[in-house]
Structure formats: C-alpha cells, structure tokens
Amino acid sequence: MHALSIAGLNKSYGSFKVIDDLNLNIETGSIHGLVGLNGSGKTTTIECILGLQAFNAGDITVLGYAPENLHKAKGKLVAIFDSASLHPNLTVRQCLNQASLLCDKPIRSAAQVEKLLGVDRFSNFKIRHLSLGNKRRTSIAHALLGQPELIVLDEPFNGLDAEGVDDVLQLITTLNKEEGTAFLLSSHQLPYLEQICSHIAILNKGAIAVSDTVSSLLAQTATTVLLKTEQPEQAIELVKQTNNINFVKSDESGYLHIALDDMNSAALNQLMVESQIPVSEMILKKNSLASLFREITSEASV
C-alpha cells in the first residue's frame, strides 16, 4: 500500500516549469530519500504534497487523502520543515504542548520527547533564544508526540551537529522499525540518506531521474580506482585490452580513472605488476550514491 502517491505532477511559476511530470510512490513503512541540487524542486514538491501550495496538474494522494484535505488525516501525517516553523515567543515546552493539541492521541508527553531529542535542558527557553540546532531538534520533537503513519522531513539535518545528526538518524530508524512509520526525507546530505533510506529518488530539473532501492542504485555504480604510474600510455592500453575493467579518464593530477566492473583492486594491481607497469599510487573510490548523483546531475546539465 502506498503512504504517498504522486502521478504526473506539474508545477510552474509563470512560464518557468519547476516540476515536470513527477511520479513517485512511497510504500507504507519505507524510508524514502528525495535528493536533488538546489532549485531542483524538492521543497516545491514537498509543499505540493502537503497542500501548502497549488499545482498545475497531476494527482497526489497522501495516506488516502488529497493534499487539500490532509487535515482529515487527523495527525497521521507530520511534516518538519526546512525552517524551524515554531512560534518564537513560546518556550520549548509550550511549543510541544501546543503541538500535542494537534495529535489525535498523544503517545508521549512533551517532557518525554524533550529528553529523546536532548532539548530537556532548554525546556523553559523561548524558541527565539535557541541555537539553530536546538530549534531543529524541537521541531523534530513535534513528530514524536503522536503516532504518525508518515513523516515528511525537509532538510532534517540542517543546522545539526554530528551528535544531533546521529540522534535524528537513530530516531528515524527506531520509529520506522518499531512503529512502522514511513518517511520522506528531502536532503542534500546523501551520505546520511544512504545510511537509513530504503529507497532513494534523485530529482533533477523537476523530474525524478532515478528512483529505486538503495541497494539497486548502488549496484548501478561502479567502483573506481585512481591509479598513478610512470607509464600511463602502457597502462591505458593494458586496461583497454582487459575485460571487466574500463578506462574512464586521466585527470590533471596524472591519475588514471579506472572503473572496476568485475575485478577488485588487488587483481588490477597484480595485472599491472605482471605487465611490468610500476604503480606508484592506487586509490580505491568505492561506489556511492554521491557518485551516482553527480553522474546524473552532470549528465543532465550537459
């Protein structure tokens, strides 16, 4: 069953098309990452999903409701925005007490969620006196008061220190596993998303360029080796003649970029040595979503 379903979403600001035929489904209980460059349409997509702005065409269903009727979901959907979106003149405790009014059945008290997010020390501080990171934690604490089925987080790691990021990642994983909460995370921080997401969608120029499970996406990217040698021409020739490896390019620093399809770095090193090509340096670049993301966004910008 889909917690969120988007079909053929289009959104323009005047003649400028921000979202172009976007399709995305988020399964119940999954953690879905939405990544994209600045201006790729992530926040606009989220605002359309949440009914905060109108769109030109397409269908969106969130937990069975259209975006303009999300209030009927009665707290089953929680959104944490890229800015704190909290009343600056309320204290942390007051903000959370106000938020609990919006929960159908609060399952945690304000004091409990303060402790979970590590803002209990600032309980009586007004929001305007908090640091960016603690505002962020308080904002995320909103989501923990009730038992939402879907949590949408826009740039959840902004302003958080390393400890804060770890706490949030841990919380997302725990809520997902223990309560089956589905997540849509929009972020630039691919390494964090890679750690916790079951699915990733890469948004480029208003459309989903790639959307799949993290493992499938990683399988699409090849491990690359950066190799330095005094005989680059011979090394390139050797790589071109060998199966399971591909020459990608040579860079300004003299490194040869070699993609390993079905060979490990040790075997490549052995091949070079056996061919009497001395290797002075060898750097292994493991496959990652970041490289896939760069590949997709650079392809599209060419």
Partner 1 sequence: MNGLLTAIRSEIFVALHTFASKLIVLAPALIVLLQSIIVKLSTASQQARDSLLGNSSFEDSIANNAYGYYVDGLSTGLTMLGLLLVAQAAYSFSYERDIGSLRHLLVRRVSRSSLILAKFIHLHVLAVLSLLLLILTSYVFSGMFWEFGPIVEDGFELISEAEIQEEIRLGLHLAIIPIPAAIAFGLFVSVCAQSATQAVTTALGITLALDIFKGLLGNFSNYIYASFQASLIDESYLQDVSRLVRGYSDVLIDDRVQQLNLWVPFPALLLFLALTILIVQRRKI
Yes or no: say if 113 and 146 are a contact pair by the CB < 8 Å rule: no
| Closer Cβ to partner 1, 134 or 224, answer by number | 134
Q: Which of 56, 85, 264, 270 binds partner 1 (CB under 8 A)?
A: 85
Structure tokens belonging to residue 121: 């020390």
Judge contact between 231 and 238, C-beta under 8 A.
Answer: no
> What is d(CA 108, CA 98) in angstroms, rounded to the nearest whole number?
13
Total residues at interface with partner 1 (CB under 8 A): 34
CB of 149 to partner 1, least distance (A): 12
Interaction of residue 51 with partner 1, rule CB under 8 A? yes
Under the criterion CB under 8 A, does residue 70 sit at the interface with partner 1? yes
Q: Take residue 233 and report the two structure tokens written for it.
A: 């021409």
Which pair of structure tokens corresponds to residue 225? Answer: 């080796």
- Interface residue with partner 1 among 71, 105, 121, 294 (CB under 8 A) is 71
Closest approach of partner 1 to the CB of residue 152, in Å: 8
User: Interface with partner 1 includes 89 (CB under 8 A)?
Assistant: yes
Which run of H or E residues covers position 201? strand 199-204
Residue 129 is a binding residue for partner 1 (CB under 8 A):
no
Our finding on whether 142 is near partner 1 (CB under 8 A) is: yes
Compute the least distance from the CB of residue 113 to partner 1, in Å: 15
Rule CB under 8 A: which of 181-240 touch partner 1?
A: none
Nearest residue (CB) to partner 1, 69 versus 270? 69
DSSP string, 69-80: GGGGGTTSEEEE
What gap in Å lies between CA 279 and CA 257, rounded to an integer? 13
